[in-house]
């Protein structure tokens, strides 16, 4: 399965905002709660800071994907209808 965040329309790069926002939300929640669960299992207590740190990491990963898509030349992007 391939998720297209940035595609090509009329020779120009286009950001697919619904896919980007959905991916950012899901990825940040999975990483955030995953890191919180690991901290809970290791330390025996819940840490809101760990969850927020994980959410920030998830948003950073999604942002890197968007930036890499925008750096790609338009000819190499997936055509969007």
Q: State pLDDT tens for residues 3-52.
A: 889 999 999 999 999 999 999 999 999 999 999 999 999 999 999 999 99
Structural domain includes residue 1: no
Write down the residue that tokens 């790069």 correspond to. Answer: 13
DSSP, res 10:
T
| Separation of alpha carbons 69 and 76, rounded Å | 10
Q: Considering the entire predicted model, what is its pTM?
A: 0.83
Write down the residue that tokens 């896919």 correspond to. Answer: 19
Domain that holds residue 69: 6-76
Q: Domain count of the chain? A: 1
Write down the residue that tokens 């998720």 correspond to. Answer: 3
Is residue 1's pLDDT more than 80? no
Structural domain includes residue 81: no
């Amino acid at each position: 399965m391939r998720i297209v965040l940035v595609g090509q329309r009329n020779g120009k790069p286009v950001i697919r905002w619904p896919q980007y926002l959905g991916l950012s939300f899901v990825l940040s929640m999975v990483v955030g709660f995953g890191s919180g669960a690991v901290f809970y299992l290791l330390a025996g207590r819940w840490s809101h800071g760990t969850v927020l740190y994980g959410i920030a990491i998830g948003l950073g990963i999604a942002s890197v994907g968007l930036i890499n898509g925008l750096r790609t030349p338009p000819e190499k992007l997936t055509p969007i209808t």
